[in-house]
Amino acid sequence: MSDFKFKQFKVAQDKSAMKIGTDGVLLGAWSGLENSRNILDIGCGTGLICLMAAQRNPSTLITGIELEVNAFKQATENCKKSKWSNRISIIYSSLQSFNSSSKFDLIISNPPFFSGSTESEDSERNLARNTHTLPFKYLIEKSKALLDKNGKFIVIIPFASKTKFCDLANNNNLFLNKICFIKGNISSPIKRIMMEFSFAKSKLIKEELTIEVERHQYTKEYISLCKDFYLKM
């Protein structure tokens, strides 16, 4: 598979089980990076979100952790080849094993979403997709431990998992401050949500994002969000 080229960087993905997708790009573009000097990307895959964060905020340091060895190698190569290589560190580690002496201003994750009994024959893809590898409960508890008191925790998950995820977050004193409901097109149901949590309660900000008006005709909102990255926007 050829490299995926963005405006300021390119991402090789031939070794990684999980390829570049809309979810990762949306999360990297939507996440608020203001005042974030120390960012953690949990399950960084190819390094896409690390690279997007480096492009968006020239003063931030980014750490990506990845459990799947081929994805780790690919993310390391992708980030080393970028013009922000001095600000990005990729670490081969599970979240369970990862520790840091300093807290993070921002923790981002596009966590595994597949929890059914049917799995593909690709063991690496199963590892990347399966919630058993990184249960929501552990993701939230570990993020709480790693997050600065004024920091933000941002995820993209299936809409069907919203109540479960928010309940687990609330149990860890992480409160929903902002949510974005994502639709593929005007008539399609909401399938994904992006959510921002912090230790502080605030009035909930609700947004809705529709990606396409029709096939390959993108909405103004989607173009505005992603135009700094996609070549043809």
Question: Band of the pLDDT at 167, cuts 50, 70, 90?
Answer: very high
Cα–Cα nearest to 90, from 45, 27, 143, 139: 45
Q: CA separation (Å) from 115 to 85, 131, 160, 227?
A: 35, 5, 12, 33
CATH number, residue 149: 3.40.50.150
Does the pLDDT value for residue 133 go beyond 80? no
Give the global pTM: 0.91
Cβ atoms of 193 and 181 within 8 Å: the answer is yes
In a domain, residue 231? The reply is no
Per the domain annotation, does 182 fall within a domain?
Answer: yes
Domain that holds residue 29: 4-226
Of 52-61, 117-126, 144-153, which gets the smallest average pLDDT? 117-126
Phi, psi of 95 (to 5 degrees): -65, -35
Domain count, the chain: 1
Q: How confident is the model at residue 232 (pLDDT cuts 50, 70, 90)?
A: confident
- Quick check: is 232 in a domain? no
Within 10 Å of residue 83's Cβ, how many Cβ atoms? 11
| Angle between helix 48-56 and helix 22-30 axes, rounded to 10 deg | 30
**Residue 47 lies inside a defined structural domain of this protein:** yes
The answer to whether residue 195 is domain-embedded is yes
Q: What's the pLDDT at 129?
A: 43
Query: By the 8 A CB rule, do 211 and 222 touch?
Result: yes
Separation of alpha carbons 162 and 233, rounded Å: 31
Average pLDDT over residues 222-231: 97
Q: Tell me how far CA of residue 90 lies from CA of 42, 176, 221, in angstroms.
A: 10, 28, 32
Average pLDDT score over residue span 180-195: 97
For the residues 126-146, what does the mean pLDDT come to? 76
Going by pLDDT thresholds of 50, 70 and 90, the confidence category of residue 128 is very low
pLDDT at 214: 87
CA dist 26 and 49 (Å) reads 9
Min mean pLDDT across 112-116, 138-142, 229-233 is at: 112-116
Q: What is the pLDDT of residues 191-218, one digit of tens each?
A: 999 999 999 999 999 999 999 998 889 9
Considering the domain boundaries, does residue 81 fall inside one?
yes
Residue 233 covered by a domain:
no
